[in-house]
Structure 1
C-alpha cells in the first residue's frame, strides 16, 4: 500500500442528504471536513425524479438538482468534497485509519458514516428502464403522483403492507403481488391490509415484466406460480417493497449492526460503539428512510463530532 497519508479532523464517508448536511454543519464548526462521495455521488436521490416532500421547495425539485444544491452549499462553507470510495477501515487505534481507493490512507480524529442504503430490486430490465417513470421503491416518496390511479406493489413483509395501505389512501386500487401463499408481515399489518377494501392481494404470484409506452408504465405482467397463467394488470405505478440493503459491509467486524446490516447507534445519538465514529442517514435508519430525516441525522452527527473533539483536548490541526 502507498504511504500516501493525510490527517483530518473529520472524515465523512458517503454523500446524499445525510453526508452533505453533516459537511455543512462540520464546516461551520471549523472541523474542515473531508467528504468522500462513494460510488454514487449524491446518493439515492440522484436516481429519482421530482421531490415534492422536502421543505423549502414549494414547486418541488428534481432529485439530482437538489443533491447538487446540497453539495454546492457544503463546498461554499468550506467542505472538501472528493470523489472516491472507502476500500477498508481500521478502527482499532486513534486516529482512525480509512483507506480510500485502496491507495490513500486517511487518519481521522472523527468519522461520520453516511453510506446510505440501496433498495432491493427484482432484477428486471424493464424495472430499471421505468425507474422514476412509474417504477418506485418508495411509496411515501412517490405515491402522491398516482392519486386516483391503479397501482401494484410487490412484497409480503411489513414494509410492503405498510406502503400498500399508504397507497390505498390516495390510489383508486392497489394490487399486492405476493410470491408465496402467505404474508411475512406481522398480524397487525396483515389485518390492516385485509381490511382495506381497495387492496387486492395476488398470492403465489411473481412479476414477469413491467410494460410501458416508452415514457411511463402502463401495466405489469404477472404469472401465477401454481397454474403458470399470465395476467396483465393495467396499472400506471409499480412499487417495489422487498427491502433495502444498507451499504455497510465495509464496516462489518468493527461497528455493531443489526442482523440486516443497519448500523446501531446509541439512543438519541448518532454515536456508534466505536469512540469518535458516528453514523447518520439510511445506513442506520430502517424506519423512515426520507431525505429530510437523513439530513436531520447528518446535522446531529456533525454536532456530536464537534462536541466530541471539543471535549478531547488533543485536537490535531489538519
Structure 2
C-alpha cells in the first residue's frame, strides 16, 4: 500500500480458541480492550453468506472522533486448528490520516496457548506530508497502541484483569511517574542550579564534607537529580526505579538531618517531601502488577532483521 512496513504484533495468550475468538470477534468485547476503537457496531446482514460489515468510531479528544466502516472479507480454519480472520476498512472523513486499509488476525494453537498475530497496513491522505507524518508519528503510535492492546487482552484472558482496570492502573502509573519526575527535576534545577543561595548551599556547607568545593558538588547533585527525574518519563519498567527512589530518598533525608538538624522544624522541610515521594513510590510498586506493556509483544515478523 505504501513504502512503510505493515504493522505486525504477536502475542501468545494462555487461553483456549473459543475464548479468544469470542473476545476478539464480538464487537462489544473487542472495543473494551482495543485502544484503537471506542465503538464497534456490526451492521445487519441481508444474506447469511455475505461478508460481515461494521462501523467503527475512535474518539481523539476535544470532542472529535474518527468514524469509518469495515468488512470482514473471510474467515477460515486449517487442518491444524489455526484460524484466520481477514478484514478491510476505510473512512471518508477528511480529518482522518488513514484513508483505507486491510489486514488479518491469525490464531494458532500452541503448547502455551494461542499465538495471536495481527498484520495490517493502510494508505494515507495529504500526499507526501501525510506519509511523513505517518512514518514519523502515527504509524509508531498505532503499532504501540496495537501491542499495548494485545497485552491488555492477555491480562484479561489469563489473569482476569478487566481492560478498564488495566487502563486505570496504567493512568495511575504514569501520573505517579510524572509527579516524581517533576519533583526531582524541580529540586535539581531550581534550588541547586538556578538559586543555590536559597538554602541548599548552606546545608552542604554545614555538613563540612566538601570544604571549598560546595558549589561544584551542588551542581553535580542538581544534574544528577534532573537525570534521575527524566528516567521516570522513559518507556522503561519503572518498578525497580520505584525501589531505587525509596532508598535514595531515605538516604538523602538521613544525610540532610545529620548535616543540619534545624531543617526538621523548617516550613516545607525535607521530611514531609520525602514521605510524600516515598508514599507515591510504594503505591507505584503495588500498582505495577497487571499493567499492560507494548514491550511484552513481538513487533517484527520472524526472520526479519532486528
Coarse TM-score class (shorter-chain normalised): under 0.3
More helix by share: 2
More strand by share: 1
